Copies of this chain bind each other. A is one copy, B any other.
């Protein structure tokens, strides 16, 4: 028995099967299929199950025979719209939509991960409804890759679970650290809790308590302490943990600030002939910045804490962006992410053994 189980795991990890929602995002199959082709160049072992409309997807598969060759195509009558409310999408798209069926493929073990560029709220609602949370985890999180001065950090939660308590913050830390081990290939990723001051006395009670627990327990992560909003872009830790309300506000504030600075510079550059010429000469630098900040290149978010891996690609992703999302999923499948999370969660749930007082906190901190 054990032998055959191990064999199945090995197959899964060596030849991942990825379920693709071909109808998600602003561009549907015109981005999804070329994206799959890009991922195949990097990893020729991949297989796909592609869910979508038979009137459009096969045309794209014809253009990308490398994808067609390793894929199974499944027609779906319904495509979830980008502006659909989660409840609406669930009502209309349950069982029938390409989004639901991609998740279903993960649920029934036909695929190892699902990737969709569709509507985030609908995807999360369907994923939670269909996959349910892992044993011991109450609520899921969306983990994103945040561009930093040093590369990238994982930030979670981006908006799935608002107002998290201590246990959830610890769970998020465990899940984020497991993802960092998969994505950054780090044995003991550094983890920080987002707070409004770096001193131990400041901030929300659940955040302070989560800090005590992360310090005390023996988990495969290096707890760094508190980090603040301005530390996000510095990349001082591999994983930043917060609940979804402040995580979402941080994410959108950063996006908004970047856009604001871009607009301001554009206007300032066009004010005189001198600055216009300067802009043309400095254009390579601006292009580099644009590329760094371009949301169509970002690979979206990973839903953590569910009985199956679901990756949300950015709705406006290019084929390269979508391909990055596939690669992210493949990475985590090969790492066997969810099994590692399940093991770590067992450890982290020994929090009742951590007395809630500062003397212990001081004793264990270094």
Residues of A within 8 A of B (CB): 85, 148-149, 159, 162-163, 194, 196, 199, 201, 203-204, 228-234, 242, 244-246, 248-261, 263-265, 268-269, 271-272, 274-275, 277-286, 288-289, 292-293
Contact = CB atoms under 8 A, between A and B. Distances in A.
Nearest to A293: B261
23 contacts: A159-B196, A162-B196, A194-B249, A203-B245, A229-B248, A229-B254, A229-B255, A232-B256, A233-B253, A245-B246, A249-B249, A249-B250, A250-B250, A261-B289, A264-B288, A265-B285, A265-B286, A265-B289, A269-B285, A274-B281, A275-B285, A279-B285, A281-B282
A200 to B, nearest CB: 11
Contacts of A281: 274-275, 277-278, 281-282
A168 to B, nearest CB: 15
A226 to B, nearest CB: 12
Nearest to A159: B196
A162 B261 contact: no
Contact of A251 (B229, B256, B261): B229
Contacts of A251: 229
A229 B258 contact: no
Contacts of A282: 269, 274-275, 278-279, 281-282
Contacts of A292: 264
B245 A232 contact: no
A-B residue pairs, 9 tightest by C-beta: A278-B281, A278-B282, A229-B252, A230-B256, A268-B285, A233-B260, A229-B253, A196-B248, A230-B252
Contacts of A230: 252-253, 255-256, 259
A162 B250 contact: no
Given A258-B257, A281-B278, A292-B264, A249 B269 contact: no
